[in-house]
Amino acid sequence: MTDHEETLQSSDFKDMKTGLMVFGILQIIFGGFCVLMVPFMIMGMIASAVIDESSATAMSPTMMLPAVFLYVLLAAWCVCMGIGSIKARRWARALLLVTSWLWLIGGIGGFIFVLLFMPDMFEKMGENEQIPAGAAIFMKYTMMGFMAVFYVIIPVVLVLFYGNKNVKATCEFRDTKVRWTDKCPLPVLALSLMFGFWVVSMLSMGLYGWTIPFFGFILSGVKGAAVVLVVMLLSGYIAWGTYRLSINAWWGAVLLVLCWAVSAVVTFSRVSMLDYYEKMNFPEQQLDIMKQYSGILQGNAMALFCGLSLVGFLGYLLYTRRYFVRRGEQEIASQQRLT
């Protein structure tokens, strides 16, 4: 038995190396499934266009490419995190815990959204002569079950595992190096990752003509691209600045979120969501489907859901305010986290 193993056995925590390996392998497998989805989606897009170009189910490349990009990004993420988990790296546990919490919170929000709007959506589907009422009911409960598992149960399991104190202690014991994730409180790291993801996701707007709501107008083309570029630069600064615990970046996050919310409210009080989708060059077949649910998407329930989401995010920003202190206090706090 090596000195390292003897020290591990005499420590006051349970070694979770096996669990880290199991969860890491599962994530790599999931990443493999994401890779396999890419050619299937491309072949499905080609097949639907060849079989019936006028079909409402035919997907345009501009609608499919963001999904393909997302699957590639997920595959790379899952493989990297899986390897990090197997090696019991501090950065992997921190990132997996943070993203699992974001996944769970977003999943619960999405599940509530579905519960609010699903009855009306599937009632309309049942009225469609092309979809039998029984099939609509089956689709409803299948979707609910899938969302319950994928958006709630799986992230709960990940949060419980990677948030376990023994898992944390195992990673700290087996990975003694100070990692970049150790230099930032996890709640702030989550905030930084959210704005970083916002930067990356906004690149997909180029596929839709850089269409963006802007204080009562729907901009596109060069004007829309200019606004998107400014938002991306501000979001990138906020992502980096919040990681470095800059109070200016925190205030920037508050102002950007408020401006974005005001812009959306003013714009969609003047124009409809269908006008927005038309500007994004959605295929006519998909627009016809959206028209059937336009009342649902612009009803009071949708406004309430969006309002609660905004309040929740602003509440989280206020919660993280405690971590943003003056530079001298910041250095002391940083030293305390690393010791």
What's the pLDDT band for 82 if we cut at 50, 70, 90? very high
Residue 195 lies in a domain: yes
Averaged pLDDT of the chain: 81
**Minimum mean pLDDT range among 97-106, 126-135, 310-319:** 126-135
DSSP state of 322: G
Phi, psi of 92 (to 5 degrees): -65, -45
Residue 123, in any domain of the structure: no
CA neighbor of 209 nearest in space, from 195, 228, 196, 236? 228
Asked, for residue 336, whether it belongs to a domain, the answer is yes
**DSSP H helical segments within the chain, as ranges?**
3-10, 17-51, 61-86, 90-127, 133-148, 154-162, 165-174, 186-201, 221-243, 247-268, 273-279, 284-292, 294-297, 300-320, 327-338
Is the model's pLDDT at 56 over the cut of 50? no
Average pLDDT on 202-231 reads 90
How much of the chain exceeds pLDDT 90, in percent? 43
Residues 183 and 244: their CA atoms lie apart, in Å, by 8
pTM for the complete prediction? 0.81
Per-residue pLDDT band for 187 (boundaries 50, 70, 90) equals very high
Torsion 252-256-262-266 (CA) sign: positive
User: Domain residues for 277?
Assistant: 184-339
Give whole-number Cα distances, 241 to 187, 206, 325, in Å: 14, 26, 13
pLDDT band at 37 (very low <50, low <70, confident <90, very high): confident
More confident residue, 129 or 84: 84
Give a yes or no: residue 333 inside a domain.
yes
The pair of structure tokens assigned to 287 is: 């627009």
Of residues 302 and 148, more confidently modeled: 148
Q: Please state the domain count of the chain.
A: 1
Q: 227 pLDDT exceeds 60?
A: yes
pLDDT tens per residue, range 256-303? 999 999 998 888 888 877 778 777 777 666 666 666 655 555 555 566
Contact indicator for 147, 107 with CB cutoff of 8 Å = yes
Instruction: Indicate if the pLDDT at residue 52 is higher than 70.
Output: no
* Domain presence at residue 323: yes
Q: 168: which DSSP letter?
A: H
pLDDT surpasses 50 at 57: no
Within a domain: 76? no
Is residue 92 packed enough to be buried (19+ CB in 10 Å), middle (13-18) or exposed (0-12)?
buried
How many residues are there in the chain?
339
Do 226 and 212 meet the contact criterion of CB atoms below 8 Å apart? Answer: no
pLDDT over threshold 90, residue 110: no
Paired tokens of 225 = 């691209």
Please write the tens of the pLDDT for every residue from 300-327: 556 677 788 888 899 999 999 999 975 5
